[in-house]
Structure formats: structure tokens, C-alpha cells
Structure 1
Amino acid sequence: MLVLELASVLAGPQVGQFFAELGATVLKVEAPAGDVTRTWKTSAEPAATDVSAYFSCANWGKQSIVADLTTAAGLARVRELAARADVVIASYKPGDAEKLGVDYDQLRTLNPRLIYAHLTGYGPESARAGYDAVLQAEAGFMYLNAQPGQEPQKMPVALIDLLAAHQLKEGLLTALYHRACTGQGSLLRVSLLDSALASLANQAATWLVTSHDPKPLGSGHPSIVPYGTVYRAGNGRSLVLAVGADRQFRHLCAALERPEWAADARFGTNEARVAHRAALETLLQQRIGEVDGDTLLRELEQLGVPAGAVRTVGEALTLESGRQMLLPAAGGGFAGLRTVAFRSSAWPLAPTLSPPPHLGEQPGDGGVAGKELGR
């Protein structure tokens, strides 16, 4: 399968890497200046490279083709590739693809079987550029992601971009199935805003059912207690509980040597625990602060009580479970992170992927070839 990626930043490129991991050939078309994320570097990254950590999170397994679509040569090259492609992934603002000559209506005249996925910020009727932080604010995520009485907080990853990428993958897979059945291509549209709103889940349902806005609870859960709150144990270990059943709560009380809590009318059921959240959280904070957190976590695991340590990113990725999600380092470079998290006997993952390409780099060209079209 040939995927032509006319997308930049995160959501679209994540989908491109997804298909690369499944064995597709993915051609990433970049403007002469390159994908802007090539320049999004932390202070710890070397300046003398055009492959930033941010760029590398979504561009493994691809070839880079530089094309200036404002020139006849650049447009002709991209249109020639689109005529052979199975899928085009685009992330232009509404109207820009038409001006450049790479919109669905123009490309499908060259390739009637083409599946064209167009990602926008706010849908085809709005020319607003979509930025993850703004969408997190506008869709309610930042409001909810705060401790009571404190300022809203953005999630530390581009959550809305990633949610939109999942919507884009799902839409493309259904479109590929439709084409397999009918032979027909199709146009698929996904917006960051729709993807964000579709992911509000129980928080949206709370407002729809009760007409009351859900309130910020930090990492706590609005309808399950104890669930999500961070506790600090006596040995300094930070941990989280996810007690979703009364039976689990009874086991938690036993592990903490406080069986009387389970018999307390304020805490015996989840409904009661939600009503008496503050009192229970105070007791849990005090008692967990007296015990060894690692010992407690081992005992809770044996009892079937969902709980876990608060880990750094590095800790999560160096566990055996984390290492299974890594793409092996190529040529002594750095490892990557898979976007495909499922395993299928019908569709094995590519065992290795080429590292994120330098601008204009394609296999066999010996490095940065500068294959810049139309300049």
C-alpha cells in the first residue's frame, strides 16, 4: 500500500507512521523548509540535526520528498504520486488544498480509487488553524484538568491531536474496507474539535444527563472513590488506587489493616464513598503515609485491587512491558515508540523500521539528498 502524506506536525504524521508500522510505503511530502516539528527541540537536544525528538515521535518508517506545491514542477510531482497512491493524508486549512491543486476533487480525477483523509482544526467550514493547546481549552479538557480552586492545566502531551489521529485511522480503515467491497475511493474528513468533543465521554454525559457542569477534581474521579487520587506512602512512593467495586474496597481496607472502614456506613458502597469523598480521602492519605508503598502495592496486586506506582516516562519505557513498545535503534541512533499497540495474527507488524528521515532523505540515497522539487 502506498500512502502519500501531505500532513505536518502530529495528528496526520502519527497516522502515516501507523501505516508504516503495518508495512505500507509512506512518502512524506514536505515544503522546502520541512515539517515545522523538525525545529521543535528541547534544550537538551543537539542543534545540528533536523530530526528533533518531537519530529521523531511520528515519522519512523517514512521517506521524505521535498516539493514546493506553489510551483508547476512540485505540483506535477505530487499529482503523479497521488495518481498511484492508495491513501492521501492531508492537513491543510479549508480552501488551501484547492488553491494548491491537491484537494480530493482534483486528485480523484487522476485516481478514482483514491482514499483522501483531510484533517482540519474545526471542520471544512472554518478556516481557523487548529492547535492542540487551544482545542484542549475550548473543548473543556483544561477546565477539568485542575485541582479544585486552581488554574486549569494543559495535558503534557498533544492529547487532542492524538485523539484525532485515532479517529483518522478508524475512518481510513473503514474506507479501505469500503473500497475492498465496492472498488470505490472516498473522502474522509476529521476535525480536532469533533475528536475532542467525542472523547469527553462520561464528563459530557454528566452535563447532558444532569445539566450540571462536572467540576475539576484534580486526578480524582467524579463518580468513583477512591479512584485516581495520588497518595504518598511512608517510604516516599507515590501511588494511585482505582477501586471500582465494593469488594475491592474491602480488600483495600484489609491491606491497610483498617477493616472497620468497610463496615462504616459512610464508605460501605461506592455511592456512599462519593458522598463522603473528603472524609475518606483524609483517612487514606493519613494511613497510606504510614506504610511502605512498595509493600502495599505488592499486597494489593495479590488481592486483586487495582493500584499502581506513579512512574516517570523513563521508568515506564524501561520496564519490560514498556520495552515491547519500542522500535529498535538503527545504526547506533535512538529508539522510537510504536504507534501500533495491537497485535494481530492476520497482520504482523514490520519487524524493523527506518529511522525518521532527514529532509529529502529516501532509501539508497546515502543520506540527505535534498530531493527538492520545483525550486
Structure 2
Amino acid sequence: MNANQGLFHDVLVVELASVLAGPSVGQFFAEMGATVLKVENIKTRGDVTRSWKVSSEPAEDTVSAYFSAANWGKKSLCVDLSVPRVQAMVHQIIGQADIVLVSFKPGDAEKLRMDYKTLAQLNPRLLYGHITGYGSGEPRAGYDAVLQAEAGFMFLNGEKDGGPLKMPVALIDLMAAHQLKEGVLAALYSREKTGKGQYLEVSLLRAAVASLANQATNYLVAGSAPVRMGSEHPNIMPYGTVFKTADQKELVLAIGDDRQFQALCGLLGKPELAQEPAYKTNRQRVKHRGELNEELAKLISGHERETLLQALIDHHVPAGAVNTVPEALAQPLAQPQLFSLEAVAGAGVRQVAFDGPAVPALALAPPPVLGQHTHEILQKMAGVTEQELEEMIQAGLIL
């Protein structure tokens, strides 16, 4: 393998998914070197996120910032999948594919003849990754904000005395995407051994419930129903707590054990605090979190943030500045994670967030404009002639 090709340079992915979860999986494979063909609906003007723009973005038909979050390195094929002639052409392409990613509402894949049963007959080695809202047997479509509410995340998120809050990014979508990546990678390994494809399904609800982690087991094991605690942690103290420094800046502590707490108290100039019976162990600190937070707030308010943070870091006490998004992206260690910022349409964040010999930093094409590669793909992969292309354009079947 050429070092600049990526591990999956010989893998073909057909993406019949939109919004964030499915496209994030597609971008992951593009970043790993795969060829990713994004099939978009001509009737809806493509992936709906193409039109999801913040107020500062131009109104004209440009690639949106949201679309740029999950569509780097792909080729766009814009067609009318409801037409049998078009379905047949896409079937030809899928016959050559390794992976198909879909996020159809229940029943839609069958109507469009893009369901696993149909496609597996064309390509027995096909891996079919399906993201649903509640499972393929449930008719409801899935929306991240609704799933955040139904899975308990909104109830848990927010200040103790405030109302429930949605998290500021579609984390349920992203967690489902990560689970589907894991499933597809496992299926690729299985196919190497068996030669067989398979159907893989991840629902937003199951991904969300699986991601409740210790909040779920606090209830299942200990019978303690989680409650809203702001940024506090139910099992550890002080962990996630935000404090304000003398220069009116904010930092967060993430103390995981008693030794770290002792070091914190020493750096704050009050080592005896760590020896008080109410604070000596994590169990006691959890019981007395209110009083301890007051003590720490007083001590931390006497220090400049950068000076204190550096001292904490030097002494291996987990702490960090509460950054704005621009500040977070400006960090030197974050720079390899960013795509080109030369133009708004060319900005993005890499889905692959790990390093290794199989993941070279590939020079990916920017997110495609709608239908940018339709003619190229149909000619090369479905044997469509120039005359046929023109006929379908006139009929409104392709872009």
C-alpha cells in the first residue's frame, strides 16, 4: 500500500444517508482513504444540511458550514431514486461497492429498492450499515433533540435549579455514528474471514442508552436515580466543577483520586484542607460537596488563572481553562484536526481523531457541491452515455 493512499484506498462506500450520523461515518472512511459516493435526492435539493446555515453565512447556494462538518472527501451524485431507471443505475454502482450507508425512514428503503435484501442479491459481499431512530421495526423517524429528551440526557443536562437543556451539538447522532463505524469495521474483519457481507443496524435510541454509562449503572446497581447537577459529577468530587479566578476567568477541576486532591490543596496554599475528615476521601468529599465547593471557590478566587493552571499541570493535577470554541480550535494541539480554513466552504474538522501508520493525513477534496460528480460517476461506473445523460437531465432525473 502506498503510504499516501490510506488503509481503505481500495474500498468503495455508497452513502445513502443525510444530516450528521450517517455522513460522519462516510467522512470517516473517506479520511481513511476510501472512495465515498454520496447519493443525494434531486427532489429535495440534496442533503437537508446544505440549507442549514447560520445567519452570517451567504444566502446563495453555497456549501453550508453544517454540511462541511461531515462531508469532506466525497463525490456527490444527485438523482431521483424513485425512478426505476435511476434505481437500476445505482444498483450497478452498488454491485461494485463494499459498504452502503443508509438512514432511510422505516419502509423507504424498500420503496426505493435500496433495502439490504434487494442489494445483497446484487452483491453478497456488501456491508449494509443502517442508522434508524428507534430500530427498523419502529415507524418513527429519529431526531437528535427528541432522542436527547427521551434517553434522559436533557433531564440530566443543566443547572441543579434550572430546566432541562439540549446539548449544543447533536451528540446522539455522533455517538450512533461511532457505534456504526465500530460495527462496519468489525464486519470488514469478519468478511475477510468468511467472504460474506451482512446487515448492521444502529438506532439512535440504543446508542443513546448505551452512552448513559455510569449514570445508568448508578441507578441499575445502586438504585440512585441520577439528577441534574450542572457540571458536577455524581461519583467524584471535585470533578467537572467550574471555578472563577482572580482575573474573572473560569477553569474546571477533574480530581479523580485523593492524591490529586492533596496536591490541589497544597498548590492553593491550604494543605490542611485535604486532611479534614469531611474531605479526606472521595466518598467524604461527595457527601460534603456543597461546603467543599465554597472552600475551593474562595481559595481559587485568589489566583490568576494561567499561573494557577500551569502550576496544576506541572504537578499533575487535572484542570483546564473553560475555552470558547474559537479558543479551543486555536490550540496548537488542535491544528492537525482542522481542514483548510482558507474559505468558509473549505473549513471542517476531521472525523479521524487518532494517529498511526494506517492513517496518513490525506489531502481530501472539500465538501462537494450538489451533483458535482453525477456525470462522472454514472459514465464511469454505470456505463451511461453522453446522450443518456442529456436525456435524463431534460427529464429531471439527474442533476
* TM-score bracket, shorter-length normalisation: over 0.9
Question: Are residue 338 (structure 1) and residue 361 (structure 2) matched?
Answer: no
Relative distance call for 1:295 and 1:328 in structure 2 (3 A) is same
Alignment of structure 1 residues 233-248 onto 2, 5 Å = 233-248=245-260
Relative distance call for 1:7 and 1:363 in structure 2 (3 A) is closer
Question: Are residue 361 (structure 1) and residue 354 (structure 2) matched?
Answer: no
Match of 2:171 among 156, 159, 168: 159
TM-score normalised by L of structure 2: 0.90
Relative distance call for 1:326 and 1:364 in structure 2 (3 A) is farther
Match of 1:351 among 362, 371, 390: 362
- Paired positions, count: 371
Question: Are residue 183 (structure 1) and residue 204 (structure 2) matched?
Answer: no
Instruction: Tell me if structure 2 keeps the 8 A contact 1:73–1:374.
Output: no
Q: CA deviation at 1:51?
A: 1.0
Q: CA deviation at 1:350?
A: 4.4
Residue in structure 2 matched with residue 31 of structure 1 by the alignment:
41
Residue in structure 2 matched with residue 101 of structure 1 by the alignment:
113
Residue in structure 2 matched with residue 374 of structure 1 by the alignment:
397
Q: Deviations over 1:178-232 (max 9, x none)?
A: 1111100100011000000000000000110122311111000001110101111
Question: Are residue 81 (structure 1) and residue 93 (structure 2) matched?
Answer: yes
Matched residues in 2 for 1:110 and 1:218: separation?
A: 52
Alignment of structure 1 residues 16-165 onto 2, 5 Å = 16-32=26-42, 33-165=45-177
Residue in structure 2 matched with residue 294 of structure 1 by the alignment:
306
Alignment of structure 1 residues 195-234 onto 2, 5 Å = 195-234=207-246
Q: CA deviation at 1:332?
A: 8.9
- Secondary structure of the 1:268 match is coil
Instruction: Tell me if structure 2 keeps the 8 A contact 1:50–1:359.
Output: no
Structure 1: any 5+ residue segments left out of the alignment?
none
- Secondary structure of the 1:203 match is helix
Q: CA deviation at 1:143?
A: 0.6
- Secondary structure of the 2:77 match is strand
Q: CA deviation at 1:247?
A: 0.6
Instruction: Tell me if structure 1 keeps the 8 A contact 2:65–2:344.
Output: no
- Secondary structure of the 2:75 match is strand
Matched residues in 2 for 1:81 and 1:363: separation?
A: 12
- Secondary structure of the 1:250 match is helix
Q: CA deviation at 1:171?
A: 0.3
Structure 2: any 5+ residue segments left out of the alignment?
1-10, 377-388
Matched residues in 1 for 2:262 and 2:79: separation?
A: 63
Matched residues in 2 for 1:296 and 1:329: separation?
A: 33
- Secondary structure of the 2:122 match is coil
Instruction: Tell me if structure 2 keeps the 8 A contact 1:231–1:288.
Output: yes
- Secondary structure of the 2:231 match is coil
- Secondary structure of the 1:337 match is coil
Instruction: Tell me if structure 1 keeps the 8 A contact 2:81–2:112.
Output: yes
Relative distance call for 1:59 and 1:332 in structure 2 (3 A) is closer
Relative distance call for 1:364 and 1:254 in structure 2 (3 A) is farther
Relative distance call for 1:311 and 1:364 in structure 2 (3 A) is farther
Instruction: Tell me if structure 2 keeps the 8 A contact 1:94–1:127.
Output: yes
Question: Are residue 5 (structure 1) and residue 28 (structure 2) matched?
Answer: no
CA RMSD of aligned residues (A): 1.8
Q: Deviations over 1:324-359 (max 9, x none)?
A: 1012357896332100011121x1234210000000
Matched residues in 1 for 2:272 and 2:226: separation?
A: 31
AA partner of residue 169 (structure 2): V
Q: Deviations over 1:240-274 (max 9, x none)?
A: 00011111101100111011201111101101100
Matched residues in 1 for 2:287 and 2:94: separation?
A: 58
Relative distance call for 1:2 and 1:137 in structure 2 (3 A) is same
- Secondary structure of the 1:301 match is helix
Question: Are residue 262 (structure 1) and residue 278 (structure 2) matched?
Answer: no
Instruction: Tell me if structure 1 keeps the 8 A contact 2:63–2:345.
Output: no
Relative distance call for 1:338 and 1:358 in structure 2 (3 A) is same
- Secondary structure of the 1:113 match is coil
Matched residues in 1 for 2:113 and 2:356: separation?
A: 38
TM-score normalised by L of structure 1: 0.95
Instruction: Tell me if structure 1 keeps the 8 A contact 2:77–2:372.
Output: yes
Matched residues in 1 for 2:344 and 2:290: separation?
A: 52
Instruction: Tell me if structure 2 keeps the 8 A contact 1:224–1:243.
Output: yes
Alignment of structure 1 residues 311-322 onto 2, 5 Å = 311-322=323-334
- Aligned identity (percent) is 54
Relative distance call for 1:312 and 1:85 in structure 2 (3 A) is same
Matched residues in 2 for 1:82 and 1:330: separation?
A: 35
User: Higher mean Cα deviation, 200-209 or 64-73?
Assistant: 64-73
